[in-house]
Amino acid sequence: MREVRITGTGHFAPEKVVPNSYFNDLLGEDVDTWLVENLTIRERRWCSEKQSAADLAEEAAKKALAGAGVSASELDLIIVATDTPEYISPSTASVIQDRLGAVKAGTFDLNTACAGFVTACDTAAKFIKADEQYNKVLVIGAYAMSKYLDLHDKKTVTLFADGAGAVVLESSDIKGFLGSMLHTEGQYNSWMGIYGGGTNMPLTEERIRSKDHLLRFVRKFPKELNPEKWTSMINSVCAKAGVKVSDINHFFFTQININSIWQTLDNLNIPRGRAVTIMHKYGYTGSACIPMALDDAHQQGILKNGDKLIFMGSGGGLAFACQLFEWNT
């Protein structure tokens, strides 16, 4: 049986720092206090006018490749997880393949919104396990949501940010990938998203004036939804892998609501300190937040060989993805 392990990580955030005080002035009220007390967010990064999702993804990819000691020419496959792509068509992954010079790599994009990175990692692991022609796969989570924000919509503009994270997965004799699970609650597909620009609602001047091309929270999600699904899926993945939840060393969650993270860990009887969070300095970076947090933890020396890691992502759709890894470099 071919095993799969993570051999390199990397992340990149734009240089432009947007502190909470910016929104106090923009919206004419104190939003900083609520953001810090309820979400821990103090600042976030936004793309410059000339930066795009591919720019972020390229930089994160270069760092992951360097960490793995893998050249772009060795890659067999590139998967980009994003719902803020470079173009509607062609894929962002094809842009990255060209920029990196990954001449033999196949490419595709994957969109399960903010669950995208974990879904893409699961897909990459299955490619490697199933087919001997795939030995080195680059997975990138890229997010440039600032391009889709209504600056006067308090529900979205203060939360969402930009960044990219990447990992290199390789075939190995050492076990890394231990298990996974995907789940979707499709009845929520119309509750949050970017609804203009696709075939259902092609952009027109009128729709642009109506801001149909920007991110919208249409309805408020039940606050118990993420903690309940996250708890259930983590328990299921660990049980199937024969791993005790109490033996998980680090948890990496979708980081849009710190209270959902705390509630999930409380449900699992896990100390809150085992969650790796970066939202205080990067805001909410969607499909990039989990690999960004992973690389941040790696760079800080937090991850030790043999540590067990949970990636738990969720995003619009509503899509959920959970993956269990053992960290072995």
User: CATH number for the 178-326 domain, one of 3.40.50.1370, 3.40.50.1440, 3.90.1150.10, 3.40.47.10?
Assistant: 3.40.47.10
Q: Which two tokens stand for residue 133?
A: 């022609």
Of the chain, the percentage scoring pLDDT greater than 90 comes to 93
Q: How many angstroms separate the first and last alpha carbons of the chain?
A: 19
In angstroms, the CA 329 to CA 176 distance is 9
Question: What pLDDT is stored for residue 77 in this prediction?
Answer: 98
Chain segment 97-144, per-residue pLDDT in tens: 999 999 999 999 999 999 999 999 999 999 999 999 999 999 999 999
In sequence order, what are the residues at sequence separation of 6 or more whose Cβ sits closer than 8 angstroms to the Cβ of residue 139?
79, 81, 117, 120, 121, 124, 166, 167, 168, 169, 291
Torsion angle of alpha carbons 237, 238, 239, 244, nearest 10°? -170
Task: Answer yes or no: CATH 2.60.40.2550 is held by domain 3-173.
Answer: no
In angstroms, the CA 213 to CA 208 distance is 6
- Is residue 322 within 8 A of residue 181, CB to CB? The reply is yes
Q: Count Cβ atoms within 10 A of the Cβ of residue 16 and give its class: 0-12 exposed, 13-18 middle, 19 or more buried.
A: middle
CB count in 10 Å sphere of residue 271: 10
Question: What pLDDT is stored for residue 224 in this prediction?
Answer: 92
Q: What's the chain's average pLDDT?
A: 96
- Is residue 45 within 8 A of residue 164, CB to CB? The reply is no
Question: What pLDDT is stored for residue 275 in this prediction?
Answer: 97
Chain segment 249-269, per-residue pLDDT in tens: 999 999 988 999 999 999 999
79: helix, coil or strand?
A: strand
Phi, psi of 105 (to 5 degrees): -85, 135
What are the domain boundaries of the chain?
3-173, 178-326
Question: What pLDDT is stored for residue 142 in this prediction?
Answer: 98
pLDDT surpasses 80 at 1 = no
Residue for token pair 């696709």: 198
In sequence order, what are the residues at sequence separation of 6 or more whose Cβ sits closer than 8 angstroms to the Cβ of residue 278?
255, 289, 292, 293, 296
Chain segment 179-206, per-residue pLDDT in tens: 999 999 999 999 999 999 999 999 899 9
Q: Tell me how far the alpha carbon of residue 54 is from its chain's centroid.
A: 15
Chain segment 34-62, per-residue pLDDT in tens: 999 889 999 999 999 999 999 999 999 99
Q: Which two tokens stand for residue 69?
A: 């000691």
Amino acid occupying residue 10: G
In angstroms, the CA 127 to CA 137 distance is 9
Q: Do domains 3-173 and 178-326 have the same CATH topology?
A: yes
**Beta strands 192-193 and 216-217: pairing type?**
antiparallel
